[in-house]
Structure 1
Amino acid sequence: MAFKDYYQIMGVARDATEQEIKKAYKRLARKYHPDVNKAADAETRFKELGEAYDVLRDPKKRQAYDLYGADWQTARQAHSNGFAGQQYEQAAPDMHQFEDIFSSFFGGQGFGGNRGGRRGFESFDLHGDHVRAKIQIDLADSYHGATRTLTLNDGQGQPKTLNVRIPKGVVAGQYIRLAGQGAAGLGSGKAGDLLLEVAFKPHAMYRVEGKDVYLTLPVAPWEAALGASVSVPLPNGNIDLKIPANSANGRRLRLVGKGLPAKQPGDFYVELHVVLPPATSQQAKQAYEALKAATDFNPRRHWGKAS
């Protein structure tokens, strides 16, 4: 008897769990069922798949197969492996057995037709699977809403172009559902849905956490020390921001409700980053010397001391 690698047929590892084997069978049964797949070898692949699943889903059959390979059906005893006295009759695969396996998953009629000749396949209805994919959008798309064009593989190797409406206020990790754009159903079964997981494209200025948006704002030492009014770019337009006097490096200024729009909108945070001008000219060096003489500032005065 020629050896058939049931693990290879199922596309699973030899230590695959029962759940992994079941999941693989459901996926491949859809792919190779002759009602769906018109390839010349589809029926043969489908029968091999049913044969492999019948063995690997049964712990005793699977253990015998792992021990004896191609001779597992004729093995009379498996010494010291828990199969003493177990007998396995050698027989051709029963196609009704595969019919029962498939029907137990999909509720279909399985194999039908004239039992005396080549069996055909009765049609059945099966809802298509939902398909998950990711879509990257600009941050501004969430602020304003947008329509974007997305090209995906239709599962048959052909590109499929869709117009996707980006709802205003969408956040990273949220799903946009496109009804009927998932995997095709079988028979009269409806197609599944396409679930697009939203992610924001990386931005040079902004970062997003939930509904809140963050911006690091470079400021000059005198702006931080003396206070200033600075124009700050938001994804939906500029705003004049007042920097309080004596603001330290890293200070965070909160703009309530200026984050991603929603019934309860997020906030926009401006984090100050004090940038020191270089002392590359004589004037700059003199200015630093004057500042040093005018203050008794010591940045390490409390350094290392308990607060």
Structure 2
Amino acid sequence: MEFKDYYQMLGVEKSATSEEIKKAYRKLARKFHPDVSKEPDAEQRMQEINEAKAVLSDPEKRLAYDQLAEQYDAGQDFHPPPDWDAGFEFSGRGFEEADLGEFSDFFANIFGHARRPRRGAGGYQMRGEDRHAKVVIDLEDAYLGATRPITLLVPQADAQGRVSSKEHTLNVRIPKGVKAGQHIRLTGQGGPGVSGGSPGDLFLEIHFTPNSLYRVEGRDVHQTVPVTPWEAALGASIEIPTPSGGVKLKVPPGSQTGRRLRLKGRGIPGPEPGDLYVELEVVLPPANSDKARKLYETMAREMAFNPRQRKGG
């Protein structure tokens, strides 16, 4: 999938105002609208023009796209980085829902997890709009609970429609046992009410910082633990790290690489806590000295072990 330069599609500068974007769109639409255009690629070009306008005419979409576009050029191979949109504060529950079938795979991969914003009730007094942001926390905070400052980027447009961002910092209490995909609701931290209406709420969608030690599935946590050949062969009691601190793990005798051990209830806490699954990886010491090589030679003579020989063969 290629990265799309929406500014290039409309023929405008990245500093273009909202009026310049509208003007460029109208000009191109008159040229490529399938009902009037004789261009052979009119339908495709009109789709691209509509897609570019859908992003660049919306301050929230435009701000997020601009941040992403700093890392890519038009036509460059593109896959959305993990949690690329974390830290942006959006109306409702994110981008307005679009008919993704009319737009490219590129658009769908970026904006495809859309939700239609919640609107305030009718009447003179109107409740403020709910807002939404994805935030990334450490797995350890889900185990123990914490209070953390979280800074969000809020899009704002000037009188000419040029988009910039301002920071919105909150001290957020992260409850013990929160899991990925869960929302923390901050009452009254959304958009302001109209004519005395109450403010909306801010919903923070939780994601975990990528961690080389742990892999999370729901409330279950998985990790790989290296062990020595003698620990695996003879059995051992070893200490391993976990998100809530070190614990003792009993390695059964005769363990092999890939053996999975379950520590019940050691996953993310909750009414039904998850489990911690430990996969063993037998790691050989290097034969990088005369003494080490002689030990391996002795093992080769005395143990007569052939791992390629099938049982019964």
Q: TM-score, normalised by structure 2?
A: 0.57
Partner of 1:128: 128
Partner of 2:184: 176
Partner of 1:185: 193
Are 1:256 and 1:267, in contact at CA under 8 Å, matched by a contact in 2?
Answer: yes
Q: 1:282 to 1:296 in 2, by over 3 A?
A: same
Listed as ranges, the gaps of 5+ residues in structure 1 are 29-104, 110-123
Matching residue's letter, 1:138: D
CA RMSD of aligned residues (A): 3.6
For residues 1-307 of structure 1, the aligned pairs below 5 Å read 8=25, 14-15=46-47, 124-156=124-156, 157-302=165-310
Name the SS for the 1:134 alignment partner. Answer: strand
Q: 1:221 to 1:191 in 2, by over 3 A?
A: same
Matching residue's letter, 2:205: E
Matching residue's letter, 2:243: P
Name the SS for the 2:239 alignment partner. Answer: strand
Q: What's the offset of the Cα at 1:24?
A: 11
Are 1:208 and 1:214, in contact at CA under 8 Å, matched by a contact in 2?
Answer: yes
Are 1:155 and 1:183, in contact at CA under 8 Å, matched by a contact in 2?
Answer: no
Q: Percent identity?
A: 49
Distance in 1 separating the partners of 2:209 and 2:128: 31
Listed as ranges, the gaps of 5+ residues in structure 2 are 1-20, 30-44, 60-118, 157-164
Distance in 2 separating the partners of 1:293 and 1:125: 88
Q: What's the offset of the Cα at 1:128?
A: 2.6
Q: TM-score, normalised by structure 1?
A: 0.58
Partner of 1:119: none
Length, aligned pairs only? 207
Q: 1:224 to 1:131 in 2, by over 3 A?
A: same
Are 2:191 and 2:201, in contact at CA under 8 Å, matched by a contact in 1?
Answer: yes
Are 2:136 and 2:207, in contact at CA under 8 Å, matched by a contact in 1?
Answer: yes
| Residue range with higher mean Cα deviation, 214-223 or 179-188 | 179-188
Partner of 2:65: none
